[in-house]
Amino acid sequence: MATAVAREMAPDLAEEYEALVQFLYVAPVGLIQTGADGSIVMINPLSAQLLMPLSRDGGLSNLFSALEGVAPDLRHQAHAFKDAYGMVCEGLRIQVSAGVRGQSDPQILSLSLLKLDDTRLMAVITDISLQVKRERLLRQNEAWLNAILTGITDYAVVGLDREGRIGDWNPSIGRLTGFDGPSVIGKAYSILGPEDASTADRVRDRLFEADANGWSLDEGWQLRADGSRFWGSALIAPLHDRPQRDGQPPPEAHADRADPGYCLIIRDITDKREENERNRKAHSCDHLTGIANRRTFFEATERELARRLRSPRELSLILFDADHFKQVNDTHGHPAGDAVLKHFASVLSQTFRQVDVVARIGGEEFAVLLPSTGERGALVVAERLRAATESASVIVDGACIRYTVSAGIAVMDDSLGGLDELLKRADLALYAAKAGGRNRISCWTPA
């Protein structure tokens, strides 16, 4: 085809065209030229190799359609870019798979999209799976250095026993949080944070991570005694010798010792929250809805699976899908469809706990991971959300749009190899819900 096109051109243009085609074919990265609507005009073999497994219909006629399942907001970003030319997105990370523990790493692609003019786009796509694996370790090191070097606006130093209970009170706790000794001593350190931000399992997880790595660092809302909140950084470091064997808790022989097992340092970093939030949204959030994106969901789920492997506990996954969403777009237009998705994301965020992971992972598909929650608990909250959605409406340009959602629930068990298999079960349950008439919840069963 390229040769035929070249024959119809003037000799000098044909020579340049042939050189461009050769460059596309030998380039060490995936290169794709598309129309403004994403229709593929030219694609090199590496791009085809990376994109073909993602195409739902087995074809590669449109870049946005090929990536709809893993980068649902790419089309929205391209259409929202109003400049005559320029970078639509640079280094957008796309989570393709979760990988299989001990067998294969998660696959992650990087995509940059450049607007050439009103009718042409150029995409560069590469596989950065190994690079991301290395970056995670680097981020941990940087977080530790930041905790040491960043200026402290205020802080509290707390001694914890080996179960994560607050062992003593000191003036720094009162200065930062307003709590007095009797209200905190003997209680889990999670009392210093919002009720839905942690679980008993999560408390133990952080102690284990501190034992395994020498420290555990987390950022989030912290509570004061008067109920007000501040954005805090909480660092836990062990004061005892680390366990001799990987994956084992501190020796039981020392569990009754009175000396503290850990030191908890809480810093008030509210003044840095705005900058941190900007960075988080740029890399971790879906551009349209503002909730976690697919990559963030996969990373969070892998962490929960690793914790479950170390310390068994319940773990549930819910997949939600907007019913008849294509009809909303066809009847009211894509802006109305976007408004529905944003409304549903807002309802999701209001319904689930802070400790749950709420994300948009596909076009109109959303996922929620519920740590320390079994099927019954997941079913209750999923039904609550389904009913809330059914009774709500979205007003767009004077039109009242009603919509419903279906959901599939799957629970992690030892027969599953990882996230991909858990997602498959939840997807089968979602299919059953839709086949059963939509606007309902279905739980996965072997049948």
Contact between 236 and 212 (Cβ < 8 Å): no
pLDDT beyond 60 at 5:
no
Final residue belonging to a domain, choices 70, 97, 128: 128
pLDDT per residue as tens digits for the range 435-447: 999 999 999 998 7
Final residue belonging to a domain, choices 244, 268, 292: 268
Q: What CATH number is attached to the domain comprising 49?
A: 3.30.450.20
The backbone region for 194, taken as left when phi is positive above 0, alpha when psi lies in -120 to 50, beta otherwise, is beta
> In this structure, are 254 and 294 located in the same domain?
no
Q: Is residue 326 part of a domain?
A: yes
Q: Domain range for residue 74?
A: 2-128
| Res 245: pLDDT | 37
Residues 349-359 have a mean pLDDT of: 94
- Between strands 405-411 and 441-443, the pairing is parallel
Is residue 38 helix, strand or coil?
coil
CB within 8 Å of 282: residues ≥ 6 apart: none
Q: What is the DSSP letter of 39?
A: B
- Closest by CA to 168, choosing from 192, 186, 155, 154, is 186
Q: Is residue 140 part of a domain?
A: no
> In this structure, are 215 and 288 located in the same domain?
no
pLDDT beyond 80 at 41:
yes
Full strand arrangement of the beta sheet holding 229-238: 155-160, 262-268, 229-238, 216-223
Q: Is residue 275 part of a domain?
A: no
Residues 240-269 have a mean pLDDT of: 59
- Between strands 365-371 and 441-443, the pairing is unpaired
Q: Is residue 138 part of a domain?
A: no
> In this structure, are 290 and 260 located in the same domain?
no
- Closest by CA to 60, choosing from 30, 88, 81, 28, is 30
Q: Is residue 396 part of a domain?
A: yes
> In this structure, are 249 and 296 located in the same domain?
no
Q: Is residue 136 part of a domain?
A: no
> In this structure, are 256 and 288 located in the same domain?
no
Final residue belonging to a domain, choices 223, 239, 268: 268
> In this structure, are 243 and 317 located in the same domain?
no
The residue type of 372 is S
- Number of domains present in the structure of the chain: 3
Residues 217-236 have a mean pLDDT of: 89
Contact between 358 and 285 (Cβ < 8 Å): no
> In this structure, are 413 and 298 located in the same domain?
yes
> In this structure, are 361 and 399 located in the same domain?
yes
Q: Is residue 133 part of a domain?
A: no
> In this structure, are 122 and 192 located in the same domain?
no
Residue linked to tokens 């929960």:
304
> In this structure, are 21 and 165 located in the same domain?
no
Q: What CATH number is attached to the domain comprising 316?
A: 3.30.70.270
> In this structure, are 183 and 296 located in the same domain?
no
Contact between 406 and 298 (Cβ < 8 Å): no
Q: Which parts of 57-107 fold into alpha helices (H)?
A: 63-66, 74-80
| Res 246: pLDDT | 45
Say which range, 7-16, 374-383, 421-430, has the weakest mean pLDDT.
Answer: 7-16
> In this structure, are 117 and 259 located in the same domain?
no
Q: Is residue 277 part of a domain?
A: no
pLDDT per residue as tens digits for the range 159-218: 899 899 998 878 888 888 888 888 889 999 999 998 888 888 989 999 988 888 788 888
Residue 274's pLDDT band (boundaries 50, 70, 90)? confident
Residue linked to tokens 């596989």:
127
Q: Which residue has the higher pLDDT, 84 or 55?
A: 84
pLDDT beyond 50 at 256:
no
Residue 367 CA to residue 286 CA, distance in Å, equals 13
